[in-house]
């Protein structure tokens, strides 16, 4: 039987449309999501989720979760900007830098952890006032990270300046493990470090706590870790990102409601990843100084932007109106009858 030309063209168009529709559906429903994380306590949701496989379970067989471990925010940021990572647990400062450098292509979609850092001085050196940091050498893990910005805010409020700005406070960066050696040998006077390093420095080399977690900055209401996504990935796979966020929120609730069990799971992953276990007392002290939360602390994020500009890490005042995209987070929180985040 002959088919008229017009009917044939119509059938062809419909067939192509169905194929395109199936292709689009597969793109949304079937994907690989590459997730960045650190072997840090502040990345607890990632560590427990990886340990128990709950992200993979939530996303289903059609979506494959690939975990990518990093040791610094700068290296993770490079991977995000290169499109090698889709979702990442990362510090707020590199998240801000990523947003600025990519012109809005990286967005914060949730908080993960607040605070969890302390200021300590070397054994034998008691510091009772931040003004006493004048003429001292203070270490932070990395220039431009949360601890660095927190320290710069502290000395600014005390009327001090770092040496690069003509002041008297010498701020140096070093790996956390090196900070321990430098502090023990008296080559630095103090350090502002994240947990578990704060607890380790106190226990292992007799460091003195100068400021506890809730005195370092904003009474501890500032992000140490946030959850970010590439805007392109969010646009192409909103369903995957939503499922990931739902699991992240469940893990946040689980950690806060079952802290003893959560600490064991986190420590197990740290052992698997680093071959080193944290003693129970170090874990306990660290978690007391840490808040696991979905709140990215938007006001603190805004303050970090200003501190980054003032320190010269960001050249000019950026427009950060769309840095935080909390639509999916609040959708899930509303469904769970939990307080939404502004």
Q: Quick check: 240 pLDDT over 60? A: yes
The model carries a pTM of 0.88
Q: How confident is the model at residue 62 (pLDDT cuts 50, 70, 90)?
A: confident
Q: For 218, which DSSP code?
A: G
pLDDT at 9 exceeding the cut of 80: no
Class in CATH terms, 117-220: alpha beta
List the domain boundaries for the chain: 9-115+222-335, 117-220
CB-CB neighbours of 315 under 10 Å: 9
- Which one, of 94, 95, 48, lies nearest residue 273 by Cα? 48
Taking only the tens place, the pLDDT of each residue in 291-340 is 999 999 999 999 999 999 999 999 889 999 999 999 999 999 999 999 99
Residue 125 has pLDDT above 80, yes or no: yes
Structure tokens, 106 = 């990286």
Q: At what angle do helices 280-288 and 197-205 cross, to 10 degrees?
A: 130
Using pLDDT thresholds of 50, 70 and 90, give the confidence band for residue 61. Answer: confident
- Tell me which DSSP letter residue 206 carries: -
Distances 328 to 14, 139, 286, 290 between C-alpha atoms, Å: 34, 38, 30, 25
Using one digit for the tens of pLDDT, what is the confidence trace for 179-224? Answer: 999 999 999 999 999 999 999 999 999 999 999 999 999 999 999 9
Question: How far from the centroid of its chain's Cα atoms is residue 293's Cα?
Answer: 11
What Rg, from alpha-carbon coordinates, does the chain have?
Answer: 23
Q: How many residues would you count in the chain? A: 342
Count of beta carbons in the 10 Å neighbourhood of residue 146: 29
CATH class of 9-115+222-335: alpha beta
CB 276 within 8 A of CB 97: no
Share of the chain above pLDDT 70, in %: 91
Look at residue 210 and give its three-state secondary structure.
Answer: strand
Q: Is 128 exposed, middle or buried (0-12, 13-18, 19+ CB in 10 A)?
A: exposed
Which pLDDT does position 30 carry in this prediction? 61
Tell me, yes or no, if the two domains 9-115+222-335 and 117-220 fold the same way.
Answer: yes
Give per-residue pLDDT as tens, 257-284.
Answer: 999 999 999 999 999 999 999 999 999 9
Tens digits of residue pLDDT in 221-231: 999 999 999 99
Q: Do the Cβ atoms of 28 and 243 come closer than 8 Å? A: no
- What is the torsion angle, in degrees rounded to the nearest 10, for the CA atoms of residue 238, residue 243, residue 246 and residue 247? -140
Q: Per-residue DSSP letters for 277-303?
A: PPPHHHHHHHHHTEEE-S---HHHHHH
């Amino acid at each position: 039987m002959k088919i008229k030309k017009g009917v044939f063209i119509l059938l062809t168009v419909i067939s192509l449309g169905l194929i395109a529709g199936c292709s689009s559906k597969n793109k949304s429903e079937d994907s690989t999501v590459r997730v960045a994380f650190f072997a840090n306590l502040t990345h607890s949701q990632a560590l427990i989720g990886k340990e128990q496989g709950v992200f993979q379970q939530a996303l289903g067989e059609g979506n494959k979760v690939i975990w990518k471990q990093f040791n610094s925010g700068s290296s993770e940021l490079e991977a995000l900007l290169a499109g090698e990572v889709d979702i990442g647990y990362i510090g707020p400062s590199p998240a801000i830098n990523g947003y600025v450098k990519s012109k809005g292509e990286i967005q914060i979609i949730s908080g993960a952890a607040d605070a969890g850092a302390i200021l300590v001085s070397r054994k034998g050196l008691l510091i009772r006032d931040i003004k006493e940091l004048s003429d001292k050498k203070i270490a932070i893990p990395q220039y431009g990270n949360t601890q660095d910005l927190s320290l710069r805010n502290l000395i600014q409020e005390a009327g001090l300046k770092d040496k690069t700005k003509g002041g008297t406070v010498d701020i140096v960066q070093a790996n956390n493990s090196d900070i321990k050696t430098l502090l023990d040998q008296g080559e630095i006077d103090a350090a502002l470090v994240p947990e578990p390093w704060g607890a380790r420095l106190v226990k292992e080399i007799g460091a003195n706590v100068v400021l506890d977690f809730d005195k370092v900055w904003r009474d501890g209401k500032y992000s140490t870790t946030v959850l970010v996504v590439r805007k392109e990935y969010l646009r192409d796979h909103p369903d995957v990102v939503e499922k990931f966020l739902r699991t992240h929120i469940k893990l946040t609730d689980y950690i806060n409601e079952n802290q003893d069990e959560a600490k064991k799971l986190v420590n197990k992953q740290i052992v698997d990843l680093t071959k080193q276990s944290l003693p129970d007392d170090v874990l306990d002290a660290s978690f007391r100084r840490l808040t696991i939360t979905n709140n990215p602390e938007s006001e603190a994020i805004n303050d970090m932007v200003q501190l980054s500009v003032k320190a010269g890490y960001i050249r000019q005042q950026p427009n950060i109106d769309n840095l935080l995209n909390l639509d999916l987070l609040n959708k899930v929180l509303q469904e769970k009858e939990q307080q939404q985040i502004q």
